Structure 1
């Protein structure tokens, strides 16, 4: 039955692509839905199809060879997006990392489980490429995607309010399984909207819209009661403001800074009570048992013994059954022994070795460098502000990943690669605009506006 459903879904991509290509209003609404889908998908039971699954017998960051509703939407968009493609310089780092994942399959005890990870990242390359093409052809698509993310965060906001104030959760995961998934996604919603707010009102990004999305997202951040999420969110906002104020200090940015100080003063009691409530329910006893340190020791030992990795999606079976968790002092409970190391870079190193770690860092660094370089060059424009905001968001996500593996989860990867796609697309558009302004228009042999001798 699932293969019939998959065939029907893939077949639907073609007529959907035709509709998107021929109707501009539907096309823009479509991108809003694309942005919202990673945040809505956990509540949609028919949002994915596990073509091959090991969900009952495998523990890793992905359990099946899956195709999601969002994948079908991206495939349809590929048929509809006009304009030029994405330069190979942007795609090669991603392809190299997928190549490292393929190489790690040679070390994998279960190549089928390892193939799930390869397939997941291969799909993300398609997401990045299609989003980049769309934003290159029409920069307003980035605003549509971000609006979708904001609307999705609004749904999460309703969920966390219910969980915290009606159900009494000390930490609220929203629609996700864990609060850290929600927490790391908030960076990629909050900071780009702050960048747009600092720029000012535009046709596709109004002040009230940006304030509303930021306010909702900040409350979600606080109610996750995640120390890393809360601390890095404030650091990200301060960094975004600092970079954009340095780029160009305006009266609007001064007013926003004053308003932010008042808002922080107002929200401080909620932050304090949320953290205190979390500690009361789940005391933090890192002096007795430092779980993160124990996981780090296990992952480092695996990396030392297996410089080419043990196979992507294989950390838990190797750490648990190979004795690494035991020797590292990981607690013997099933929950601990079946958990991934809380550091995405150590997870990459343990599973894919030096080739995977090197290409992973290159894959993450490329959009970061592109965002800051081209954002600074175009810092007087909305596109430049947005690029710098997206760049800071990526930076904060990368720092957050020192404390969490959750960047490997499907929902976070979708938002991460959409963010990368927006960076590449907006950068290409900004670069073309800057180059066009720098090159004098020629009529005959003289630039336009030149006077006769």
Structure 2
């Protein structure tokens, strides 16, 4: 039966693509859903189809060979959007990581389980290519995807308020399975929307509510990393856009943010007090993260080429590494993944895989920051800077969490990469075709007023 459903789902990609290509209103709804659905992955029963599933039998960042609704939408988008291929410079880093991960199958104790992880990254390749092409073809796609992400965060704020005050949870997880996953999702919503607000991107009246809702979600996760990095990211975003051109709007928003901070500070303090009263910190007695990382270091020392994608828990638990690193003997701890994405990449795909993983993350970050700064007097440039900060903070956060490997986070991450690539390609074309060369273009940007009325016509149409 599930294969019949799978065939029907894949077949639906073609009519969806026709709708996206032929109807502007449908296309807007399509891309809004594309941004929203990752927030519902854990709560939506029909979100995925497990072709082969080891649920309950395998512990890793993925336990099935699956296809999700987002994959079907990405396939439909690829069929719908005209245009040439994505430059190899943008595709090669992810392809290299997929290739290295594929080689790790030969080290894997359970090759099929390793295939689950590789298949997930192959689906993300589809996502990044589809979003890149769409954003390059029409920048309104970026606004629609971000709107969907904001709606998803709005659903989560309702959930966290209920969990905090209705269920009296000290750490809320929203619609996700864990508060750390929710905390990482906030980066991809908060910083691009903050960048648009600081720029003065008008008529998107949901910007302030979206930012406030995201900050509230961050606070109620009671995650030290999420709260601290959100604050750092907001400061970086503001400083970057202030350096691009300090306006009266940005000064007023800074003052408003200071007042808002004073208002929410007592709530944040109370949230952390409730958390630590319910579950006191015991890191002086037992540092869970340090124990996991020690186990990971032992595995890498013994297997410098990696143990196989999606195999950390299996190797650490069954080959004595968790015990050797004094990981707590409880089943929950022994079945947990090292709380550091970079150690996880090193364990599963070796040193070569770690290099490929970092390269895969670095290319879109550098691209977003490079073209964001060059286009800093435009709406596209500000959005690129906001996306660059989102990726940067997510990468730093991944030094304390592994969930950047989870499919929910990866959909948001690779969608953000695709949006950054698409806008960068548009900026590159504009610079190449500037009549008097890049120096004249740079001067024109420096002289342009940072006001919504000065935005390109293609962006004003989305306002």
TM-score higher than 0.5: yes
Tell me which interval the TM-score lies in, with the shorter structure as reference length.
Answer: over 0.9
Q: 1:349 aligns with which of 331, 346, 349?
A: 346
Higher mean alpha-carbon deviation, 37-46 vs 392-401, is at 37-46
Counterpart Cα distance in 2 of 1:139 and 1:199:
16
1:132 equivalent in structure 2: 132
Any idea what the Cα deviations from partners look like across 1:215-250, whole Å, max 9, x if unmatched?
011100000000000000000000000111111111
Matched, 1:377 2:374: yes
TM-aligned CA deviation for residue 73 of structure 1: 1.0
The 5 Å alignment of 1:354-365 reads 354-365=351-362
Matched, 1:421 2:429: no
1:191 and 1:389 in contact (8 A); partners too: yes
CA separation of 1:285/1:140 partners in 2, compared to 1, >3 Å: closer, same or farther? same
Please give the secondary structure, in 1, of the residue aligned with 2:83: coil
1:403 equivalent in structure 2: 400
Q: 2:257 aligns with which of 239, 255, 260?
A: 260
2:191 and 2:237 in contact (8 A); partners too: yes
1:118 equivalent in structure 2: 118
TM-score (norm 1): 0.95
TM-aligned CA deviation for residue 43 of structure 1: 2.0
TM-aligned CA deviation for residue 57 of structure 1: 1.3
Any idea what the Cα deviations from partners look like across 1:363-417, whole Å, max 9, x if unmatched?
0000010011111100000000000010011000000000000100010000000
The 5 Å alignment of 1:170-185 reads 170-185=170-185
Name structure 1 gaps, 5 residues minimum: 441-453
Please give the secondary structure, in 1, of the residue aligned with 2:273: helix
2:337 equivalent in structure 1: 340
1:378 and 1:434 in contact (8 A); partners too: no
TM-aligned CA deviation for residue 436 of structure 1: 2.2
2:80 equivalent in structure 1: 80
Higher mean alpha-carbon deviation, 227-236 vs 79-88, is at 79-88
2:201 and 2:379 in contact (8 A); partners too: no
Please give the secondary structure, in 1, of the residue aligned with 2:222: coil
1:84 and 1:137 in contact (8 A); partners too: no
1:189 equivalent in structure 2: 189
Matched, 1:211 2:208: yes
2:389 equivalent in structure 1: 392
Counterpart Cα distance in 2 of 1:354 and 1:216:
40
Matched, 1:160 2:157: no
Counterpart Cα distance in 2 of 1:312 and 1:223:
33
Matched, 1:90 2:90: yes
The RMSD of aligned alpha carbons is 0.9
Higher mean alpha-carbon deviation, 15-24 vs 5-14, is at 15-24
TM-score (norm 2): 0.93
Q: 2:305 aligns with which of 297, 303, 308?
A: 308
1:446 equivalent in structure 2: none
Please give the secondary structure, in 1, of the residue aligned with 2:206: helix
Counterpart Cα distance in 2 of 1:438 and 1:237:
37
Counterpart Cα distance in 2 of 1:132 and 1:106:
33
Name structure 2 gaps, 5 residues minimum: 438-463
Counterpart Cα distance in 2 of 1:16 and 1:393:
30
Any idea what the Cα deviations from partners look like across 1:78-135, whole Å, max 9, x if unmatched?
1111223210100000000000110111100000000000000000010001001000
Counterpart Cα distance in 2 of 1:398 and 1:61:
17
TM-aligned CA deviation for residue 42 of structure 1: 2.1
Aligned length: 437
1:319 equivalent in structure 2: 316
